[in-house]
A and B are shown apart, each in its own frame.
Chain A
């Protein structure tokens, strides 16, 4: 009856070599990858529009462009249930504290998309001496994807959501569909 006799304690160098040999077969980060795949394919945006870009966002959710194809059209009326904030429009100084509060109320992991020129940099409202506009969403929240346009077309918003999915999964998502 053969017993597996433990060898002497391996040296650090041996351990490193073993880890290298096993790397193609053992993926300790697999669970996180699976979770990220789920997150990227079921982004729940917050029901939240700031200006005219929100009209394009609504159009993106409707039948013609159908955000649901990418799992991202389950607009949630509460920040507690949302993991994506689409900053669609001009951010006024009066609105900035509200947006910060909503962003902080969203549970991690969470992402945000700055949609259109206003949310990226203040857009046409950015000029010396302006008094009412926050010059870019990045000044108040963390932004993952910027979508240029004034306003961006629904295709651009879809592309932004797919890009965000790529960012979440590391770029291995929807390879067959792109």
Chain B
């Protein structure tokens, strides 16, 4: 079992990551690291071998800077201090390697990020809708989202109402 500091040192030693600021008392994240999207799987394997599990995955639609997606993978363990966060900036259109082969729960997390933001994941076993009805075309958590298009079903077989 690696402590967050040990895991962070391992990640840094593998030239995988760069330290990112964190506020441990407020966020509970002991170590936070930037990682390139191409090296996410490798970093997740380090976390898995260190005795961590994937607690949550967050996606942020960052208009500033560059209009990228920020993916935040939070790893946790049962000892204290616990949490390690991996942050990746993903340009729009770039397929992120899926972590489903390392942590099974990433399967559903990635489906959610895909259906709500449109982030593509390569190597995902089944990238389909999780919370929204099958066939939903719009990406509702994008900052540019202004209501479902009228062509989409409102759940009762009628057109959706548009945001005025």
Which residues of A line the B interface, CB within 8 A? 91-94, 96-97, 128-135, 139-140
A-B contact pairs, 16 of them (CB 8 A): A92-B131, A93-B154, A94-B132, A97-B133, A128-B163, A128-B164, A129-B146, A129-B162, A129-B163, A131-B138, A131-B140, A132-B140, A133-B155, A139-B158, A140-B155, A140-B156
Tally of contacts, chain A with chain B, CB under 8 A: 49
| Contact across chains for A129 and B148 when beta carbons are under 8 A apart | yes
In the assembled complex, which residues on chain A have CB atoms less than 8 Å from the CB atom of B146?
A: 129
| Contact across chains for B160 and A94 when beta carbons are under 8 A apart | no
B51 at the A interface (CB under 8 A): no
How many Å from the CB of A169 to the closest CB on chain B?
31
How many Å from the CB of B103 to the closest CB on chain A?
25
CB-nearest residue of chain A to B161: A128
B153 at the A interface (CB under 8 A): yes
| Contact across chains for A139 and B155 when beta carbons are under 8 A apart | yes
In the assembled complex, which residues on chain A have CB atoms less than 8 Å from the CB atom of B140?
A: 131-132
Instruction: Give the residue among B153, B154, B155, B156 with the most A Cβ atoms within 10 A.
Output: B155
> Interface size class for chain B?
20 to 34
| Contact across chains for A93 and B132 when beta carbons are under 8 A apart | yes
Bound Cα distance A55, B133 (Å): 25
How many Å from the CB of A123 to the closest CB on chain B?
14
B14 at the A interface (CB under 8 A): no
Bound Cα distance A22, B109 (Å): 72
| Contact across chains for B164 and A94 when beta carbons are under 8 A apart | no
> Which residues of B from 129 to 164 have beta carbons under 8 Å from A?
129, 131-133, 138, 140, 145-148, 152-156, 158, 160-164
CB-nearest residue of chain B to A93: B155
Bound Cα distance A112, B118 (Å): 38
